[in-house]
Structure 1
């Protein structure tokens, strides 16, 4: 399928690894120009990506990224707000409402909600000037499924899903579609890095990291597929959503979770 992305200009945040890296690579393979925003440039990031080293916790960073896209390519057609998860200094998973103070909650919302709001605010005028565009925000199944684990993260993602639908309602008639994808557990460095989620869960349940990834987590989260989601599976969905081939998909939330969510 030709996704009709050749020559389009995209920004991808959190582009250096995991889902963001898969999205960046996929869009470049489809012929798009990609401005990749992340704190550092990893060796895996394609040479064709224009890297902007930014910390999205900095309120000025989103405008800097959008300005670079305009400087390099003269327009902006696609925005993928992928950056999210634990902000610097915070380890996930963590459990218990009383175990997170104000600073933890504020940092979680700053990274997972306010940085996205600022990216959208910076991108919308440029997209309107170019006749429209497509925005995909990476939310989470945690936005739909309250739990005692990662409560602050889930709350921030719930707010992100709401904002996404509301922004689509305002700007969809002007040619800017806004959708979300809600992944379940995805096999990214968030899980696999030393001290990451697999190690934390292993300590919680008295197991080892490999068993957590291959058996404990899929069973605990009741994944129908029996395995964690591959980053490329999320990237493929995002590439389709930002494509003109999804021109009538607006204000939607696409769940890619291995069957984690069971409700209607």
Structure 2
């Protein structure tokens, strides 16, 4: 299926690895021109280098950074059609999961909201005038199923993602009549660096469960989360949904949330 993304301009945040890298790779394969934003590049992102890809090294904890990324898209490619707010998860220097409501401090809450919600708010604020000038566009916010099924861990992260879901609904109502579609993709547990890095989620859970990282990734986490497919989700499976929602082929879809979670959510 032709997603009709050839020549369209996209910004992807958190683009150097994991879900963001998969989104960049997928949009490029569909013919889009992509501005990839992350604190630093990666060998995998560098391997995609070409005329249709620009990397902008920014720290999205900086309130001015999202606006600079959108400005770069206009400078390099003349506008903006697609914004993918993918940056999220543990803020720089933070390891998750954290257990219990009393664990995160005020500073932890502020950092979590800065990275997982406010960076997206600022990117959208910068993107909307540019999109309106081109007659519309598509915004895809990467949230989490934990926004809808929270647990007594990562309480600050869960709350930030719940805010993103609400933001998506509000924006879709305000800007849908003007041609800007806004949707959410909510991943479940995805096989990314958040899980696999040393000191990451797999190591933390392994310490709690008295096992090792590989056992957590292969068996413990899927069983603990009751994943229907019996494994963590692959980043490409998230990227495919993001690309579809970014596409004009999804012109009738706005204000919607799509869980790509391996069957984590069980509620109707």
| TM-score of the pair, normalised by structure 1 | 0.99
Shift of 1:43: 1.1
Shift of 1:104: 0.3
Shift of 1:252: 0.2
Query: Matched residues in 1 for 2:67 and 2:135: separation?
Result: 20
Shift of 1:89: 2.5
Identify the residue that residue 88 of structure 1 maps to in structure 2: 92
Residue of 38, 46, 49 corresponding to 1:47: 49
| TM-score of the pair, normalised by structure 2 | 0.98
Query: Matched residues in 1 for 2:150 and 2:55: separation?
Result: 36
Identify the residue that residue 139 of structure 1 maps to in structure 2: 143
Query: Matched residues in 2 for 1:199 and 1:122: separation?
Result: 38
1:117 maps to 2:117: no
Residue correspondence of structure 1 range 1-264 to structure 2 within 5 A: 1-45=1-45, 46-48=48-50, 49-264=53-268
Aligned residues: 264
Query: Matched residues in 2 for 1:138 and 1:129: separation?
Result: 24
User: Deviations along 1:164-190, whole A, 9 cap, x unmatched?
Assistant: 110111001100000000000000111
**4+ aligned runs moved over 3 Å, structure 1:** none
Shift of 1:68: 0.3
Query: Matched residues in 2 for 1:88 and 1:47: separation?
Result: 25
Query: Matched residues in 2 for 1:110 and 1:204: separation?
Result: 29
Query: Matched residues in 2 for 1:80 and 1:63: separation?
Result: 14
Query: Matched residues in 2 for 1:17 and 1:89: separation?
Result: 16
Query: Matched residues in 2 for 1:89 and 1:98: separation?
Result: 20
Shift of 1:4: 0.3
Query: Matched residues in 1 for 2:56 and 2:72: separation?
Result: 8
